[in-house]
Structure 1
């Protein structure tokens, strides 16, 4: 059977930080030539889809628009839109512009006092006061949402704290488990499927990280393609009970006609 859609991870799969992965650009171009649906599914909640698309176009020779990008910010806003009533759309968010814009676009309003939801994502300007407001609101009954569980993020200085580290601080202070949205959870995958109008049987999840990308595909019941250009190694995969559906050293190896 031929897949109709490809959900693709960004860092480690499509590029490595600011470094290009030329095979990824060729892979996306081939997908577009086959008229297949391309959606980049990322745990990054800080950037707008347009910003991500512009980075791909300008720095990585990948010609897509914001419509091809699905971030944890969008998935969080879509999920909350599903569960919130008309009268429960007050939210307190620790996060950057990508998250806040996504929530506003779905009709949520920001409140410090008695919000219905507290959303915690990556915020490079986070303060003790922001944590204080979030913790008190959750202890007061607000529903606790975490954008994603990534403990660290790679940047030019090394592995800096990721959104998951901030979520854990709030979890510890509230003794409350959050609803998690991003990979490897199923919520981001279900929301991405809904946005793409495709069934999970028609899509393959492409990524470099077994713990996030591949596990997200497995958890939602989707076929998976692991590429060895990023985090996971062959030694790591050998230890896993559930293997990726497919494994390649580079995306140049992928044969559309066989899949």
Structure 2
């Protein structure tokens, strides 16, 4: 596989499986982020998670010993809200989601409504009711545009895997017959949002992640360099199978975050 031939001017870094597992920091994550700050290499933490605000995500990282600020975080909720706001400023949105998604919509000056929305904006909602699913389907059938924060069918929790936003989306798609605008990875929309936040062109950034089908696919869709770390979903043993399933391969592979630190440092020192 090809290797990046120039140092990145910024990084888009996945979180779960790349820097932590659940509430446990992956070995070397704290030092990796500290290195980036010392080298003044800009970055964003880019997550499909739509349930938590950037401030909440940053506090979680801090609790694991990974230095973070809210401004470092780009979520699928923020990107989804911005997508709608740019397409239709001040749009009326019916939200299926949690605090992070509602806050993002309000910060984008969208109007949260239960009646006659222009958009149905859907993420993960762990207090979802049948009535809200039914209402969302009625709105979509009446002409509301359907925007899905991320396609993740499952999400990790302390009690094991739980249905994710993509599983809720499967119900809405089946009932309405409409396909949503997909914002999160593997879509390039989230990556484009993070690139704009960094002020970088895609060719100047690398995407770092553990998942070929989401992180690496999204990076390639956006036109970024890609580096896979074998710290989460993808391992040396399953790499070939997952690469075939995902239909893509990264520009480089690092076994762990210590190897990634050395790999990036070698480019920076050139």
TM-score interval, smaller chain? over 0.9
Give the CA deviation at 1:37.
0.7
The separation in 1 between residues aligned to 2:172 and 2:264, in whole angstroms, is: 44
1:100 and 1:154 map into 2 onto residues whose CA distance is 22
| TM-score (structure 1 length as normaliser) | 0.96
Match of 1:244 in 2: 250
- Name the counterpart of 2:220: 218
Answer yes or no: is the 8 Å Cα contact 1:28–1:38 preserved in 2.
no
1:237/1:243 contact within 8 Å kept: no
Does 2:35 correspond to 1:35? no
Q: Which of 132, 140, 147 matches 2:142?
A: 140
Give the whole-Å Cα distance in 1 for the aligned partners of 2:96 and 2:179: 16
Deviation at 1:110, TM superposition (A): 1.3
Across the aligned residues of Structure 1 and Structure 2, the Cα RMSD in angstroms comes to 1.2
Cα deviation for residue 237 of structure 1 reads 2.8
Match status 1:253 vs 2:255: no
Q: CA offsets, 1:104-147, max 9 Å, x none?
A: 01111111111000011000000001111100000000000001
Picking from 58, 62, 67, the partner of 2:66 is 62
State the alpha-carbon separation in 1 of the partners of residues 85 and 168 from structure 2. 23
Separation in 1, partners of 2:169, 2:147: 9
Within the candidate set 161, 164, 167, 1:162 is matched to: 164
The 3-state SS of whatever aligns with 1:159 is strand
Aligned counterpart, 1:202: 204
- Is the Cα–Cα contact under 8 Å of residues 122 and 166 in structure 1 kept in the other structure? yes
- Shift in Å at residue 234 of structure 1? 2.6
Whether 1:14 aligns to 2:16 is no
User: Structure 2: any 5+ residue segments left out of the alignment?
Assistant: 1-5
Residue 81 (structure 1) aligns with: 85
Gap regions ≥5 residues in structure 1: none
Find the partner of 1:115 among 114, 117, 126: 117
Q: CA deviation at 1:51?
A: 0.7
> Aligned partners of 1:140 and 1:153: how far apart in 2?
31
Displaced runs of 4 or more, over 3 A: none
CA contact (8 A) 1:94 1:120 kept: yes
Kindly state the Cα deviation for residue 224 of structure 1 after the two structures are TM-superposed.
0.7
2:257 and 2:27 map into 1 onto residues whose CA distance is 9
